[in-house]
Amino acid sequence: NELFFARNHGAIPEVDPDTYRLTIGGLVERPLSFSLADLRHSFPSQTIAATLQCAGNRRRELSQVTDIPNEVLWDLGAISHAEWTGVRLRDVLAQAGVGAGAAHVALTSLGQVARRGKVFGYGGSIPLDKALEPEVLLAWEMNGAPLPPLHGAPLRLVVPGYIGARSVKWLGEITLQAQPSDNYFQSVAYRLFPPSVNASNVVEDEGRMLGELFVSAAICSPLEGERLPDDKLTVRGYAVGHGGVPVEGVEVSADDGATWARATLLGEPRPWAWQLWEVQIALPPGERTITARAVDASGCTQPVDPAEIWNFKGYMNNARHRITVRVGNQRPLS
């Protein structure tokens, strides 16, 4: 758990597990409130292997197309994998009874954030249809250990296949409503705009609210700029599918996409988990680029060039991942 990436828009709150309550309200037949013990005893516990990925993962590559100020310039590391244990959100919603007109499930944290002169609980929402899927958990355990405070103790939502921002930590309130949440992190942040939009001409409502992650693959080894002694190497990385459809293949090119070598997928495919992969390739001496791309079982693949998908907040970079390495006894890259 210490290796899992962390992303926090505000301070980490101290929540007393003994007095903690989760409330469910809005368009429900019976507003409810649960202690942690209530949740544990009232519903069957579930464990799900799910990868969390921040919408800002690989923002650095987008920032190399055009500067992205005031955002964290993540490399490949805003993604991690864990086994989460808790109860299904849908079981809890069934006990509250989904009311007429409910279409979104809004989530509000006990963790406070400050934006635009206001202090409020971090929040967001997911469509009701997603909330009723079996993979969405209210989790209190991470990899068999109690959820650490950094990752949302005592209770967080885990929304596999969605941007990490929807997996609200230190969850305090669930509200069923007709519209998406009006929380800043749903209504303003985490919207996707075309490359023509920037901070000075943006019309916030016109952006696409982010939810499902896109198919992608990234090279974790070798590293960008690495100097490699000889011409044979093993390239390793991760790939993620879309909408719970596992990645079907990962391919790696050492000649800018003219030819592709198929990588070996490691382990059994699991719907909400990243797919680790590796492939051996040979590279002639000199400065070389290595490119990776994934294809999922529905045939979806990745954009070729990050410039096509540049957006001023730097979200959702799933362009083919390219790194440059130097092979043989040449001068190191500057």
Round to whole Å and give the CA distance between 272 and 286. 39
Token couple for 185 = 């992190």
Stretch that binds ligand MTE, among 7-15, 40-48, 89-97, 125-133 (CB under 6 A): 7-15
Burial class (CB in 10 A: 0-12, 13-18, 19+), 36: middle
Q: Residues 96-115 vs ligand MTE: string with x where CB under 6 A? A: -------------x-x----
Burial class (CB in 10 A: 0-12, 13-18, 19+), 165: buried
Tell me, by CB under 6 A, how many residues bind ligand MTE.
19
> Dihedral of CA 229/230/233/238: which sign?
positive
Q: Which residues lie across from 34 on neighbouring strands?
A: 22
**Closest CA relative to residue 322, chosen from 275, 231, 253, 258:** 253
**Least distance (Å) from ligand MTE to the CB of residue 235?**
26
Stretch that binds ligand MTE, among 35-43, 87-95, 166-174, 313-321 (CB under 6 A): 166-174
**Least distance (Å) from ligand MTE to the CB of residue 7?**
4
**Least distance (Å) from ligand MTE to the CB of residue 230?**
37
**Closest CA relative to residue 234, chosen from 247, 248, 220:** 220
**Closest CA relative to residue 54, chosen from 202, 216, 176, 170:** 216
Residue closer to ligand MTE (CB basis): 121 or 249: 121
**Least distance (Å) from ligand MTE to the CB of residue 77?**
10
Q: Residues 192-221 vs ligand MTE: string with x where CB under 6 A? A: ------------------------------
The DSSP secondary-structure symbol of 166 reads G
Task: Tell me the C-alpha to C-alpha distance, in Å, between residue 334 and each of 25, 225, 228, 286.
Answer: 57, 8, 15, 14
Please identify which residue in 86, 161, 164, 211 interacts with ligand MTE, judged by CB under 6 A.
164
Query: With binding defined as CB under 6 A, does residue 54 bind ligand MTE?
Result: yes
**Least distance (Å) from ligand MTE to the CB of residue 333?**
31
The separation between CA 202 and the C-alpha centre of its own chain, rounded to angstroms, equals 24
Taking CB atoms, the residue at the shortest distance from ligand MTE is 164
Round to whole Å and give the CA distance between 166 and 158. 8
Judged by CB under 6 A, the chain residues 117 through 156 that form the site for ligand MTE are 122, 151
Give the 3-state secondary structure of residue 37: helix
Stretch that binds ligand MTE, among 3-11, 197-205, 263-271, 319-327 (CB under 6 A): 3-11
Please identify which residue in 32, 168, 235, 247 interacts with ligand MTE, judged by CB under 6 A.
168
Please identify which residue in 74, 170, 274, 312 interacts with ligand MTE, judged by CB under 6 A.
170
**Least distance (Å) from ligand MTE to the CB of residue 300?**
22
Residue closer to ligand MTE (CB basis): 115 or 270: 115
List of residues contacting ligand MTE (CB under 6 A)? 4-10, 52, 54, 109, 111, 122, 151, 164-165, 167-170
